[in-house]
Structure 1
Amino acid sequence: MLKKISVFLFSMIFILSIVPSISFANDISNHQMKFELTYFAEKGVILPDAKGNFNPNDPVTRGEFASYIARALELPDSTKYTFSDLKQGTREAQEIQNAAGANILGGYADGTFKPNQKITRQQMAGMLYNALRYLEVPLHQAPLTFKDNKKIHDSFVNAVSTSVYFNIIRGVHTDKGVYFNPGNSATKAHAAAYLFRALEVAKNADGNQSNEGNVDSSKYYIGKIKNGVVSKNPTIYTTYEQALAALNASGSLNLIFKGENIIKMSSGLAFASDTVAKTTSIYEDKSFKKQITYTQLGRELKYNGTSANGDYFIVQVGDVVGYAKPSAVNLIPTDLIEGRDEYYIEDSILVHRIYNHAKKEYEGKYNVGPAPKFMQSGAKYYSFDGVHFYNRNNSLVGTYFPYFQFASVRQPSSYTASDLDKIIMAELENRQAFGGAQYKDATTKSKLIGLGTILKSMEETENINALFILSAAIHESNYGMSTNAQTKNNLFGIKVYDSNESLGEKYATPADSVKAFVQRYMQERYVPQTAVYPFGAVPGNKATGINVYYASDPHWGAKIAGHMYKIDAKYGLKDYAKNRIGMVRTGTGTVNTRLEPSTNSSIAFTYRQKATGESQEFGYPVAIVEETIGTDGYVWYKAYSDDPSIAKFVWIRGDLVKVLPKN
């Protein structure tokens, strides 16, 4: 569905065959682009100077063109982004910010916008491309055959290609061929013409969508994608089976649509798209009755196929493969992928950059831990579970289990209460100095201050690692400065939901929030095998650990582990790699833990059978502290117990545990 276009834009329908009646300066009245210039002058999009002239042949600046778009689209006021070189309080500054808030433009790496710089043809194409996306126009691309194709910057290729397809910015014909001249500047008259053509595309697209009635959202169609261009055959099928048969018979088509939505493709990605709940459920069964896990709106999923009757998708989140409702998932064919989650090395640290497919933008990055040896600086890697990493050719290059992500939270931290208080203050001082306005007065206002004693108390009485608790609080409360932390003493987002982030429990003190997180959530719901969601006593991911059900964010466990490593690396590496990590194998049945290294010993507790993921590697993680040969001849591993109320340590027979290699 296209974004509703304003009355201003629709008014073009009536003006196309009418010459505007208002007279403007002579520099417009005799100009080649009189029509477009006069149209936008009448609408107050292009403004005259003090003498009443529009100077159509003058170069247009980045700021001017941004303002033209903001006025033409009647963009709402926004303060989402500000640029350091704009004069706040001016109309132009507000209009540039409005366009930035609509994701139509961006600035430079140094935080500036450079509004007085002449805008280039490729930059204009980029802004118009984003304007069409803002208006939710179905975008198409044409092959680029300009003599100077190589001069078009990679980040503008799609925009230029779309501009060519819709005939918005055309090539320049010379004796030597057709050139795009991507780095050349353009005039105000050119700006008026290009913007007019772009709005014509939006108007026609909306008219086709709403008036022609050719697309029935309950019917099926087949089509193809080639060179980035999606095309749909007009033939209507009443059932998915009919469309699938036609697709298989064609030999050249590779897409099935239900209405406007792609529901089958030859290759590509999927993403969570349930905009009502803001989370998408992944189910164990095809009838959607037993949920495996869930994930956030916009998060990336691996597409494994569509059912034979089109009523479910087979997708992978983390290492878990399950079934999802087509209404809760969107498919993106490979040729239309604009961005995706990526991993790379930065200063010897593995970094994960996250792409939100619903918003179509990168929305942040975090440090995972020390980079594995199989990765190379400068290269990008891709992973659905944060463990198995692939290159651009989709070839597996290595497996890496970040230590803190899969290390048992039953292990105590080596940091004392005093250590933790010093770490908290040092981190707050750093945030206050370099983190921007959101951390103003953090060293006096943060709700993390003075929590060292309660963190260690919870570790000693409840056997939950203090560094893990602190890292979860840092992550969930933005270093104790979030609104929920400041107004409700809620450091962990307890009862704050994706569908309503304003909710959340209120606590008398931050310490009470810590107790609730540990006692009511970690102990009762997530860590022991007797808990409600017993998937492993580690931060984990969507295949194993607390993350399976604690957070909709599929990277929650990795982010917590990243905080743990960042703190530990900065203050002495007291906790990192203290013990080996093993995965208890329960893919084919339950596994007993024993009080002594013998099958004749009493059972401490039993690990339930659980899905071990697509790779068959995600059992229950344990921290191994010792190994021995039992009287039965088996190797036995001594590990921290998931249930210390029974025993602090338990023994597990070696053939039932896969010991992970050290990183």
Structure 2
Amino acid sequence: MYAKLHKIRNVMLSFFALILLIVLPTMASAEELESHLDDALNVRSDKVWTITFNKPIDPASANSDSIYVLNSSGEKKNGAITVSSNRKSVLVAPPLQGYTNAETYTLHMTRDIKDEKGESLSSYTYKKFTIGSSASGTYDIVSILSNGTTNLVKSYAKFEEAVTNLKADQAIQYNGAFIKIPSGLVVTKGTASSVLTNIYSDKQLTKAVTYVPANTELLYIDSTDTYVEVNVADKNLYIKHENSNLLPWNAVKGRSYYSVSNGQLVHSIYSPNTGSYASYQVGNAPNFMSSGQTYFSVDGAHFTNATGQEVGTSYPYFQYLSARSKTNYSAAEIDAYIMSMLQKLESDYPSIPMYQQAAQKSKLIGLGSYLKQVEATYHINALHILALAQHESAYGLSDRAQQYNNLFGLYVTDNNPLAKNFITVEQNINELINAFLNKNYLPPNAGYANGSVFGNKAIGLNVRYASDPYWGAKAAGHMYRIDQTMGGKDSATPYKIGITTTSGLNVRTGPGTNYAVAYKYSNAGMPVTILDDNLPASDWIKVISDSTSYDEVYIHRSYVQMLPVK
């Protein structure tokens, strides 16, 4: 031991030493070409490594080239590299989806790490660690400090004991990870088998109703040692702990929000993985919102201010307009819009290769007539199809659109990016309609039926069609901008939008119980686009049919709640 310490003392005279906290001992001597620190077993999948130096380092030298984690295939798999404010510590975060169970990784620290004088680490250092689920631990009650860190209060062998002794402002950790917090957010993470997080309607986690990708922000409601309860699009549902990173409010560094810009509602989505925001335009801003203010919403309809106070409710019109509706625009007008948009992309982004010669190469060119034919034949709004194509294929300019005529990402999933080829874009559109929309999504009792609107993760196509929880809002945003660019015909005289309030609801062919049942809504909360709510039979309203067998159908007024739409 003395000899080893003597070597290190000599190294520190001309270089600087390194200590990896908790597990890693002091670094070996400079005479060794490579320093192999002891292996670690049963490491948690969300392990954050802390490296501490005996003097400040040059922050620029601590990066993904000098400190990194490799898997057994030699691929870099760590998350962010963060230098502490005193520049004596470096945190190596896990990848967003966590390390893979039973996989062996190697943490590498190269000689590229330098101190403030530019002197390098004495040796190349590495440490192997294996992820395992067998690591045992205690249920630790902790107090949460204002900076998001914690102090241990007391440990218990069982979760139930910890809960019994838990105070309202405290949290419970297991193996260093939160499993119960007073309040805050949950950020989803993938597993070794899938990048997706299944969302369940039951606490037993047996009835999956939808899914979201890793890095999705959800509002925390409650949790036990077996499940996490979260708010998904204004519904309380459940996910597994293995898919959850619980963040008390004090530990939240950023959060998705809504704001107003030039009268438009803008949604800015925060990425916990990168610490950055990406924004898109939803539609018209509600009247209760003001420029310069920040608003929050779990479903894009019910809004609170920064203090959590409710400020109003407003549903974006095109997000809840039935796909069975008809646009007021002609084929020629649609073609003119497509060409003008492509020319604008060319002009606005001349240095981006994708947009160069957009008006000559886009797969959307000349689709107006076919989209109107689809609308008449298959009862799907031409602008719904166009908006979806714009969103999924970058205006017909994406690689999948250009190479495979795939405008909608058909058969491309988060876990299996299949390169499905279509002979023509018309064949691709037919596949979307016949194999997806009119087969599984839009008919009222289809396998994935949740309403014939873009919607969100609780209503409409977005529930099962796409993992992105904001896919419906983004697609609707395209439809809104299409309409605005073309003159606003479709929003000039908008339909009223409603939502059903009971399960097992009979939808009839006429305004009375003496008329035949056209179909039945098994679940409550189905969106309806209203054609007439001022009928002679005043107890009934006429709505656009979700079934292609009818143009319009009737629902008793008492079972429909009108939605405030903007």
Task: With the length of structure 2 as denominator, give the TM-score of the two structures.
Answer: 0.79
CA deviations over 1:48-75 (Å, ceiling 9, x no partner): xxxxxxxxxxxxxxxx967534497257
Distance 1:15 1:458 in 2: 76
- Equivalent residue, structure 2, for 1:285: 202
Which one-letter code corresponds to 2:149 in the other structure?
Answer: V
Q: Quick one: which of 582, 591, 604 aligns to 2:497?
A: 582
More helix by share: 1
- Equivalent residue, structure 2, for 1:222: 141
More strand by share: 2
- The 5 A counterparts of 1:398-409 are 398-409=312-323
Distance 1:294 1:463 in 2: 28
Q: Quick one: which of 656, 659, 663 aligns to 2:559?
A: 656
- Equivalent residue, structure 2, for 1:192: 115
- Equivalent residue, structure 2, for 1:541: 456
- The 5 A counterparts of 1:197-216 are 216=135
- Equivalent residue, structure 2, for 1:635: 539
CA contact (8 A) 2:142 2:151 kept: yes
Q: Quick one: which of 519, 531, 535 aligns to 1:625?
A: 531
Distance 1:605 1:316 in 2: 31
- Equivalent residue, structure 2, for 1:331: 246
Distance 2:209 2:309 in 1: 27
Distance 1:489 1:134 in 2: 42
- Equivalent residue, structure 2, for 1:269: 185
1:568 equivalent to 2:483? Answer yes
Evaluate the alpha carbon distance shift between residue 19 and residue 274 of structure 1 in structure 2; reply closer, same or farther with a 3 A threshold: closer
Distance 1:325 1:553 in 2: 18
Distance 2:457 2:468 in 1: 9
Q: Quick one: which of 61, 71, 86 aligns to 1:68?
A: 61
CA shift for structure 1 position 355: 1.2
Instruction: Please give the secondary structure, in 2, of the residue aligned with 1:604.
Output: strand
Distance 2:388 2:5 in 1: 54
Identity %: 35
RMSD: 3.5
Evaluate the alpha carbon distance shift between residue 285 and residue 354 of structure 1 in structure 2; reply closer, same or farther with a 3 A threshold: same
Distance 1:326 1:371 in 2: 36
Distance 2:429 2:63 in 1: 47
Evaluate the alpha carbon distance shift between residue 239 and residue 642 of structure 1 in structure 2; reply closer, same or farther with a 3 A threshold: same
Instruction: Please give the secondary structure, in 2, of the residue aligned with 1:472.
Output: helix
Distance 2:398 2:481 in 1: 21
Q: How many pairs align?
A: 492
Distance 2:5 2:320 in 1: 60
Distance 1:596 1:485 in 2: 44
Evaluate the alpha carbon distance shift between residue 65 and residue 430 of structure 1 in structure 2; reply closer, same or farther with a 3 A threshold: farther
Q: Quick one: which of 429, 433, 448 aligns to 2:347?
A: 433
1:461 equivalent to 2:377? Answer yes
1:302 equivalent to 2:226? Answer no
- Equivalent residue, structure 2, for 1:496: 412
CA shift for structure 1 position 451: 1.6
- Equivalent residue, structure 2, for 1:92: none
Which one-letter code corresponds to 1:304 in the other structure?
Answer: I
CA contact (8 A) 2:322 2:529 kept: yes
CA deviations over 1:565-621 (Å, ceiling 9, x no partner): 11111111011164433334243x3211222211212222111124xxxxxxxx211
Distance 1:635 1:224 in 2: 57
CA contact (8 A) 1:341 1:382 kept: yes
Q: Which has the larger Rg?
A: 1
CA shift for structure 1 position 487: 1.7
Distance 1:475 1:258 in 2: 41
1:484 equivalent to 2:400? Answer yes
CA contact (8 A) 1:580 1:660 kept: no
CA contact (8 A) 1:128 1:195 kept: no
Instruction: Please give the secondary structure, in 2, of the residue aligned with 1:257.
Output: strand
Q: Quick one: which of 472, 486, 507 aligns to 1:593?
A: 507
Instruction: Please give the secondary structure, in 1, of the residue aligned with 2:490.
Output: coil
CA contact (8 A) 1:247 1:255 kept: yes
- Equivalent residue, structure 1, for 2:365: 449
CA shift for structure 1 position 464: 0.5
CA contact (8 A) 2:198 2:210 kept: yes
CA contact (8 A) 1:383 1:390 kept: yes
Distance 2:141 2:405 in 1: 54
- Equivalent residue, structure 2, for 1:240: 159
CA contact (8 A) 1:579 1:624 kept: no
Instruction: Please give the secondary structure, in 2, of the residue aligned with 1:473.
Output: helix
Moved more, 483-492 or 577-586: 577-586
Which one-letter code corresponds to 2:279 in the other structure?
Answer: K
Instruction: Please give the secondary structure, in 1, of the residue aligned with 2:518.
Output: strand
Distance 1:492 1:549 in 2: 15
CA contact (8 A) 1:220 1:257 kept: yes
CA contact (8 A) 2:256 2:268 kept: yes
Which one-letter code corresponds to 2:143 in the other structure?
Answer: K
CA contact (8 A) 1:586 1:608 kept: no
CA contact (8 A) 2:444 2:546 kept: yes
Distance 1:594 1:267 in 2: 45
Unaligned runs of 5+ in 2: 16-29, 35-56, 70-77, 96-113
CA contact (8 A) 1:586 1:607 kept: no
Unaligned runs of 5+ in 1: 1-10, 23-38, 44-63, 77-100, 106-123, 138-190, 611-618
Which one-letter code corresponds to 2:11 in the other structure?
Answer: I
CA contact (8 A) 2:260 2:291 kept: yes
CA contact (8 A) 2:58 2:87 kept: no
Distance 2:320 2:6 in 1: 61
Evaluate the alpha carbon distance shift between residue 482 and residue 14 of structure 1 in structure 2; reply closer, same or farther with a 3 A threshold: farther
Instruction: Please give the secondary structure, in 2, of the residue aligned with 1:661.
Output: coil
Evaluate the alpha carbon distance shift between residue 103 and residue 636 of structure 1 in structure 2; reply closer, same or farther with a 3 A threshold: same
